[in-house]
Amino acid sequence: MISPAASKALDAFLARHAALAGASQNTLTAYRGDITDFLGFMTTHKGGQQGLSPLTQLTVSDMRSWMASLRSDGLSSRSLARKLSAVKSFYRWLSEHEGFDATAVLSARAPKFQAKLPRPLAQDAARAVLETVELQSQKSWVGARDTAVMTLLYGCGLRISEALALCGQDAPLPQTLRIRGKGDKERIVPVIAAAQDAVESYRRLCPFSIEPASPLFVGVRGGRLSARQVQKVMEKTRLQLGLPATATPHAMRHSFATHLLNAGGDLRAIQELLGHASLSTTQTYTQVDTARLMEIYNRTHPKADLTED
């Protein structure tokens, strides 16, 4: 358990982070969990003392003890780096707010890890997913629903959370959708005819009344469809088609971006469609190699045609 003072400080930090950084609710929830776990460990580690004072006097040794504890629990380097990032953000704010030196925390080094590159599906595999996903349910309306969701992921590049956030008032789908994504950022996404048709097929078969303010995609009991259910149907589809474990719902979004790029799509336009704040994120997301980047550079950069005298 953390002290009331520490809990109050954490609440204030998250409120400020939400206001200034525009963090999503998922990000704030993850931050709260990671920082609460850290403060709980340090409260026990420092002898169960209450108040903020012990937490403002952490040493390098204290940080090493925390990281060693996580390691002994089997936490991966990637997850440990994520937790440390959240803790540093909190302590950077707390040190300014309380006026103490947080060097011991801020200087802690995250373990090195190899970033996992996204693995898009081949075009024929993505097409096979869309054709097969409806076969995973004995109820025709559920099959139509799952097909509609997957078509939005692959055909429009939506995140699962974005597709499941659609409401009845969004249907029938227009030619463009205003999507509110990560960090509460808005973007305009073109909607292909296949996605419009898939959603309408689902709506015709759905046994539940979909009101304007209610979720567009519902579960078998009529409540909002969960991301986990989408993941489960993708697992069944993947096994039926013999696809690798990397064939996830999110991989359909990866595939959308990669296939657009391979077809000659502009990298910055794809960045806008995906809702990425940084072009470097899009480059990683679409597995753009150096040769492909140079090709885009030479074709589009205003200085690319200049030659040396």
In the annotation, is 91 catalytic?
Answer: no
Q: 151, 256 in Cβ contact below 8 A?
A: no
Nearest residue to 39 via CA among 14, 19, 58: 58
Q: Is 190 helix (H, G, I), strand (E, B) or coil?
A: strand
Phi-psi sector, 248: left (phi>0), alpha (psi -120 to 50), beta: beta
**How far is residue 264's CA from residue 71's CA, in Å, rounded to a whole number?**
44
In the annotation, is 178 catalytic?
Answer: no
- Residues sharing a CB contact under 8 Å with residue 134, sequence separation 6 or more, in sequence order: 140, 143, 144, 146, 147
Assigned token pair, 284: 């990683």
In the annotation, is 202 catalytic?
Answer: no
- Residues sharing a CB contact under 8 Å with residue 255, sequence separation 6 or more, in sequence order: 120, 121, 123, 126, 154
Catalytic residue selected from 83, 203, 253, 254:
253
Q: 179, 189 in Cβ contact below 8 A?
A: yes
Assigned token pair, 138: 């004995």
In the annotation, is 127 catalytic?
Answer: no
**How far is residue 70's CA from residue 152's CA, in Å, rounded to a whole number?**
38
**How far is residue 259's CA from residue 154's CA, in Å, rounded to a whole number?**
10
Of the chain, the end-to-end C-alpha distance in Å amounts to 71
In the annotation, is 276 catalytic?
Answer: yes
| Angle of helix 77-98 versus helix 4-21 axis, rounded to 10 | 100
Catalytic residue selected from 78, 82, 187, 250:
250
Catalytic residue selected from 17, 83, 145, 159:
159
- Residues sharing a CB contact under 8 Å with residue 11, sequence separation 6 or more, in sequence order: none
DSSP state letter for 305:
T
Beta partners for residue 215, in sequence order: 167
In the annotation, is 88 catalytic?
Answer: no
Catalytic residue selected from 182, 187, 236, 259:
182
Instruction: Give catalytic residues, as residue numbers.
Output: 159, 182, 250, 253, 276, 285
